[in-house]
C-alpha cells in the first residue's frame, strides 16, 4: 500500500473512533428504532485485540460497543473500504469477521446463552461503482432450498452514490466528511471551508483530521 493510502486509512479510522462521528453516521443513514435507543454517552470502542487470532485487525475496521437505554447492548462493525477494485465476496468477508467475533465472545463468556446483535456497515470510498452483493445468499448458487443458506447482509454506504444536495442537507460531521470526499477539483477549496465550518461548530477536536 502507498503512504497516501495508509494516511487515508488512518485518518478515517481516527475520525470514526470519535463517538460524535459514529452517532451522526447512524442517525443520518440508519432509520431504525434501535438507533433512537442508543445511549451514546456510554458508547465505547471495542478492543479488537481480544478477538480470535484468526481475525486480522487492520487500520480500516472499527468496532463500537453501544449500550441501549433499555439495558441491552449492541455492536456496530464498521469496515472502511478503500480498494480500487470492488470485493465481490464482501458479504462472505463480513460474515467471517462476525463469526470470529462471536466465537471470541463465547470463549470469553462460556455461560453466554444469547449473542448480542452486530450491525455491519461497509463504508466504501473507491471510485468504481459498488457492484458486490450485500446479501450472502447471492454468492451461493441454489441447489438446495434457501432456508439452508445463511441469511446475512451488510449495510452499504458508497460515497460515490450520494447526491450533493442530500449531503448538504445533513449539516453534521458525516455530512462534512462526504462533502470533502465527493468535492470536484474546481470546488475543493470552498468545499473544505464549508466542511471545516461545520466541524468547528460541532467537534473542533476533529478539525486537524479533516485538514489531512
* 3-state class (DSSP) for residue 172: coil
Percentage of residues in the chain having pLDDT higher than 70: 89
> pLDDT grade, residue 53 (50/70/90)?
low
Give the model's pLDDT for residue 8: 63
Determine the pLDDT at residue 135.
97
> How would residue 72 be classed by pLDDT, with cut points 50, 70 and 90?
very high
**pTM of the predicted model as reported, rounded to 2 decimal places:** 0.89
- Residue 58: pLDDT band with limits 50, 70, 90: low
Query: Is pLDDT above 70 for 24?
Result: yes
Confidence class of residue 50 from pLDDT cuts 50, 70 and 90? low
> H or E segment at 63?
strand 61-67
Interatomic CA distance for residues 95 and 153, integer angstroms:
8
Residue with cell 459498488: 130
More confident residue, 81 or 3: 81
What is the rounded average pLDDT for all residues in the chain? 89
Mean pLDDT in residue range 180-192: 88
DSSP 97-141: HHHHHHHHHHHH-TT--SPPPEEEEEEE--SSPP-S-SBGGGGS-
Model confidence at 177: pLDDT above 70 = yes
* Confidence label for 63 from pLDDT (cuts 50, 70 and 90): very high
Q: Is 191 helix (H, G, I), strand (E, B) or coil?
A: helix
Amino acid at each position: 500500500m502507498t503512504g497516501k493510502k495508509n494516511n487515508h486509512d488512518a485518518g478515517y479510522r481516527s475520525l470514526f473512533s470519535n463517538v460524535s462521528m459514529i452517532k451522526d453516521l447512524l442517525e443520518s443513514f440508519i432509520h431504525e428504532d434501535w438507533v433512537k435507543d442508543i445511549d451514546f454517552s456510554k458508547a465505547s470502542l471495542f478492543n479488537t485485540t481480544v478477538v480470535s487470532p484468526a481475525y486480522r485487525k487492520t487500520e480500516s475496521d472499527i468496532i463500537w460497543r453501544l449500550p441501549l437505554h433499555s439495558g441491552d447492548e449492541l455492536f456496530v462493525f464498521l469496515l472502511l473500504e478503500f480498494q480500487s477494485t470492488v470485493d465481490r465476496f464482501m458479504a462472505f468477508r463480513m460474515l467471517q469477521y462476525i463469526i470470529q467475533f462471536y466465537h471470541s465472545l463465547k470463549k470469553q463468556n462460556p455461560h453466554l446463552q444469547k449473542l448480542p446483535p452486530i450491525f455491519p456497515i461497509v463504508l466504501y470510498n473507491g471510485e468504481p461503482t459498488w457492484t458486490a452483493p450485500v446479501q450472502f445468499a447471492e454468492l451461493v448458487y441454489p441447489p438446495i432450498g434457501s432456508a439452508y443458506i445463511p441469511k446475512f447482509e451488510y449495510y452499504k454506504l458508497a460515497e460515490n452514490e450520494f447526491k450533493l444536495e442530500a449531503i448538504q442537507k445533513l449539516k453534521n460531521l458525516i455530512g462534512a466528511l462526504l462533502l470533502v470526499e465527493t468535492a470536484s477539483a474546481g470546488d475543493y477549496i470552498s468545499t473544505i471551508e464549508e466542511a471545516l465550518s461545520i466541524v468547528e461548530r460541532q467537534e473542533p477536536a476533529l478539525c486537524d483530521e479533516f485538514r489531512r
